[in-house]
Amino acid sequence: MVAPRRVGAVIPVVDLRAETAGTDFDRALRQLGFVELIGHGLDPVALSGLRSACDSFFDLSGAAKMTYVEPDPLANRGFRSKGSEALAFSLGDSTPPDLFESFNSGPDDRVTEGIELIRQTPWPDDTVPSFRPAAIAYLAEMARISSEIDDIVGSCIGIADLADRSRLGPDTMACIDYRPGPDGSEETEPDQQRMGAHSDYTTFTVLHADSVAGLQIIDANGRWIDVVPTPGSLLMNVGDLLAIWTNDVWPSTLHRVVPISGGAAPRRRSIAYFHYPDLAVVAEPLDGFVTASRPARYDPVAVGDHLRGKLAAPKNQTAPTTALTIADRPH
């Protein structure tokens, strides 16, 4: 593990409505694999509705929340309690369990019998009846925004039909809650984080988060950079699949969330939308990113196989079985 060195940073901004959005994405994502998005048009009513429903859910008793656990680690749906996974295992690193709670949901109209990666969401209709309609409204907004991003970045990298290849993927929305104990304290073990260092397994991830400290990303020199979102913006980071397609020219962002002792605000909330192509789509380095001095770094892999090889590792605390996209970066 690289020692933390917390420094300030200016995160590149991309306006989705700008004529230069494609060029802006390419320039920005080559730096950190991470940008702030403006011009996204996210419906504020959908956002506030889901925020309120998430708060109501996480205020339930621990016993009540545990009734919405989906035990299959490949399902990626339902409630995850503090200490139930350690995301650094997805990089092959062994750490104590992470200190966050989450509720994961997804588009139920994509559920197919026998496909374990796209399951029905165990909605908390009996305890928080507002949750399902609020989540469905926000999922629709994220599907729209993700399709717009697919069109832009797909054109940049040479997959003009990326949005069409990403209509039925295993997209997942995680409502995440970080908070200390009732007395305001947060005890941690050595190397324990609120969310351990990891890359996302996605094409890209779209995040809305409180404008408070806690999130950090790593730069090419191994320095952890604090990221406090600008109010009204969304954050987007490159996931493993874009890193594979671009042969790491667009790096898959390594990120973590530190505990209070590492400088985080006592309470932090976020909503992460993990966006994927369809499960059968194959990712491999594209010709435009492979040269004699930069040979292909990855073998072809189907989206479903890549996801299966990653999802179970943090939950079972075992090594991942598909390629890491950390290249030569410290982690």
pLDDT tens readout for residues 228-250:
999 999 999 999 999 999 999 99
Least Cα distance to 17 among 160, 149, 167, 164 occurs for: 149
Q: Cα(293)–Cα(286) distance, rounded to whole angstroms?
A: 15
Q: What is the pLDDT of residues 106-156, one digit of tens each?
A: 999 999 888 999 999 999 999 999 999 999 999 999 999 999 999 999 999
Q: What is the pLDDT of residue 328?
A: 62
**Average pLDDT score over the chain:** 94
Q: Cα(74)–Cα(79) distance, rounded to whole angstroms?
A: 13
Q: What is the pLDDT of residue 7?
A: 46
Q: What is the pLDDT of residue 331?
A: 57
What backbone phi and psi angles, to 5 degrees, belong to 137? Answer: -65, -40
> Who has greater pLDDT, 170 or 324?
170
pLDDT greater than 90 at residue 329? no
pLDDT greater than 60 at residue 103? yes
Q: What is the pLDDT of residues 297-311, one digit of tens each?
A: 999 999 999 999 999
Q: Using N-to-C axis directions, what is the helix angle for 21-29 and 131-157, rounded to 10°?
A: 90
Q: What is the mean pLDDT of residues 199-203?
A: 97
Specify whether the backbone of 282 is left (phi greater than 0), alpha (psi in -120 to 50) or beta. Answer: beta
Q: What is the pLDDT of residue 266?
A: 96
Q: What is the pLDDT of residues 18-74, one digit of tens each?
A: 999 999 999 999 988 999 999 999 999 999 999 999 999 999 999 999 999 998 989
Q: How confident is the model at residue 4 (pLDDT cuts 50, 70, 90)?
A: very low
Q: What is the pLDDT of residue 46?
A: 98
Least Cα distance to 198 among 244, 252, 250 occurs for: 252
Q: What is the pLDDT of residue 133?
A: 98
Q: What is the pLDDT of residue 53?
A: 98
Q: How confident is the model at residue 5 (pLDDT cuts 50, 70, 90)?
A: very low
Domains and CATH numbers, the chain: 13-316 (2.60.120.330)
Q: Roughly how many angstroms between the first and final C-alpha of the chain, as a whole number?
A: 6
pLDDT greater than 70 at residue 2? no
